[in-house]
Amino acid sequence: MQDKYFEFLVPTRVVFQPGGAAQAGDVAARVGIRRPFLIADRILAQVGLVDRVSGTLNIVGSFLDVPSDGDLATCEKIAQQMKGADADGIVAVGGGSVIDSAKGANIVFTHGGRLADHQGVGVLQGKLAPFLVIPTTAGTGSEVTRVAALKDLEQHRKLFFESEYLAADLALLDPEMTSSMPPKLTAATGMDAMTHAVESILASNASPLTDSLAVYAMQMIYAWLPKAVQNGRDLEARGHMLFASTAAGAAFSNAGVGVVHACAHALGALKNVHHGVANSIMLPFGVSFNWNESQPLLPPDSVQRLANLAKECSLPQRLREVGIRESDLEALAEYAAGDGALIYNRREATQDDLLELFRNAY
């Protein structure tokens, strides 16, 4: 019986519409954007995805130089350009970095000041400018989450922003917008979504609602990720992966994540390992660490199945394959031990536990 208090919130309206990006102008108007500012990155512009959207929008300006890892300075620059263009809302086209950078830019655009001053949980005092997101990857879940993770390049640290005001007003899911993603990125972002699903099932804040979404996402990813990796033009597979990513995002933004994300954050911050790749390597070891015989929602052979899925998607299985040396493991464990993701890990993980996890995955 569910006897534990819980709350569940997804402030974002989710619209699934194959080919919908070509009508982004109408969708932007639905959330009150009359003078849209477009945010994307160069790669997306090169493969024509930005044109597909901007052709239908009367954009007043754009920023197409979001780096692969969003940072504070870029967000402040975007906010300044938005003011200069007299924009009244944001259309973000991209993956996690673009979406998080758009969230950061929106904070400064709306509330002013330095972005770093707004970091933390529940710091934002009011609504932000209207914000439409069109994801081009399927994994981060950032299109429905209330968080943004952005790098402070001067202090070499990652800052976290969390507020219900940070959520997009509308997420437009169009499978065609993810179909030019290369196999490696498809695999890595897909395993990020899998990690969100599995970790939210194991998290201390899990509820029947997050479990429903997470179990659905997990089943879809097992079934469709290899197909999306194998043939990027398989729009059925792309569509299912978008649902799964969004479902897993809605789950973990309410349930929390855990030890696998703590390790992945350390690998990203100290050794620049891609977030999805880091999660994929650590996931079987993290599940094994958190394994609980009384957990009915995970298949009993989960540890092996997750490792097999990563292998089938041609992802690395060990930390040594992504440039980590044995001498790095202590520092990684120290960083992970201070990571906020551990708050929702049901089993307490000490620095020694984390070191053992990294050693097992090495």
- 54/45 Cα distance (integer angstroms): 10
Q: Quick check: 143 binds Fe ion (CB under 5 A)?
A: no
Least Å from the CB of residue 219 to Fe ion: 19
Give the interface segment with Fe ion, choosing from 187-195, 198-206, 213-221, 233-241 (CB under 5 A): 187-195
Least Å from the CB of residue 162 to Fe ion: 14
Least Å from the CB of residue 77 to Fe ion: 25
Residue closer to Fe ion, measured from CB, 75 or 197: 197
Residue closer to Fe ion, measured from CB, 119 or 145: 145
50-65 CB burial, b ≥16 within 10 A, e <16: bebbbeebebbbbbbe
Judge contact between 178 and 135, C-beta under 8 A. yes
Strand partners, 71: 151
- 155/243 Cα distance (integer angstroms): 36
Residue closer to Fe ion, measured from CB, 215 or 282: 282
Strand partners, 270: none
Residue closer to Fe ion, measured from CB, 89 or 258: 258
Judge contact between 20 and 174, C-beta under 8 A. yes
Size of the site for Fe ion (CB under 5 A): 1
Task: Cite the DSSP H helix spans in the chain.
Answer: 24-30, 42-46, 49-54, 72-84, 96-111, 183-202, 208-230, 235-255, 259-271, 275-290, 302-312, 329-337, 351-361
Residue number of the CB closest to Fe ion reads: 192
Q: Which of 100, 143, 192, 211 binds Fe ion (CB under 5 A)?
A: 192
Least Å from the CB of residue 249 to Fe ion: 9
- Going by C-alpha positions, the residue among 279, 95, 312, 309 that lies closest to residue 192 is 279
Least Å from the CB of residue 192 to Fe ion: 4
Give the interface segment with Fe ion, choosing from 69-77, 113-121, 192-200, 337-345 (CB under 5 A): 192-200
Least Å from the CB of residue 310 to Fe ion: 15
Using the structure block, give the residue that is written with the tokens 């479902």.
247
Residue closer to Fe ion, measured from CB, 21 or 282: 282
- 149/339 Cα distance (integer angstroms): 13
Give the interface segment with Fe ion, choosing from 30-38, 48-56, 188-196, 233-241 (CB under 5 A): 188-196
- Footprint of Fe ion on this chain (CB under 5 A)? 192
